[in-house]
A and B are shown apart, each in its own frame.
Chain A
């Protein structure tokens, strides 16, 4: 009930491609869905977040799509660059769950 399932585990795309990372959750009380980006040796950094009252949110080249009925949300990275190579984590929280529940992460590699 408390898990957030993230896929794929790893992803390789060419520069300019649009990697898509998917997450699914079970707890319908979750009401906050952030994505974090982590580079080696650094802590995760908040990239973008969405709440269930909207189906899509864009910030620069990053877009979250949210499907409340399917209990799924995804991250799209437009015009990906080698500098986007990092590990991406989705997360969720809400209801009685007062802390973030993280997916297992997706290691993205963008080839030049």
Chain B
């Protein structure tokens, strides 16, 4: 079974731009969660999608948004990028909920200049 895939793996953007990251979960997994990982703050939960609906949301500004498609693939968008948005963005999938065994993708490394 293929693992969680994320594209692109690396991105360089400038302040004020927007970016869209993509995540394909493991086949059959319906829950997709997004996390931001930085050296200072560690792993922080952004949001979770299940059956195309946002089921849970972390404490991030509205510039961070996401969506899920009918095939469970998910995208995350960050608008008006700030320097502090530089981070590794991780996607994780599980069968139904986050408490099920959760599998992480390799992440997208976003650098904002």
Contacts and interface: CB of A to CB of B under 8 A. Distances in A.
B106 to A, nearest CB: 5
Interface stretch (A17-25, A62-70, A96-104): A96-104
Nearest to B9: A41
> Chain B contact residues (Cβ within 8 angstroms of A): what range?
20 to 34
Contacts of A36: 104
A108 interface: no
Nearest to A101: B45
Chain A: interface secondary structure?
strand
B34 to A, nearest CB: 10
Interface stretch (B14-22, B67-75, B76-84, B95-103): B95-103
Contacts of B26: none
B56 A44 contact: no
Contacts, number: 52
A14 B34 CA distance: 36
A43 B48 CA distance: 17
A98 B42 CA distance: 19
A16 to B, nearest CB: 29
B24 interface: no
A54 to B, nearest CB: 16
Contacts of A32: 99
Contacts of B106: 41-43
Contacts of A46: 101-103
A98 B48 contact: yes
Given A43-B105, A44-B104, A46-B103, A102 B43 contact: yes
Contact of B102 (A100, A101, A104, A105): A100
B58 A99 contact: yes
Given A32-B99, A44-B104, 14 more contacts: A43-B92, A43-B107, A44-B43, A46-B102, A46-B103, A49-B101, A89-B42, A98-B97, A99-B98, A100-B45, A102-B44, A103-B42, A104-B42, A105-B42
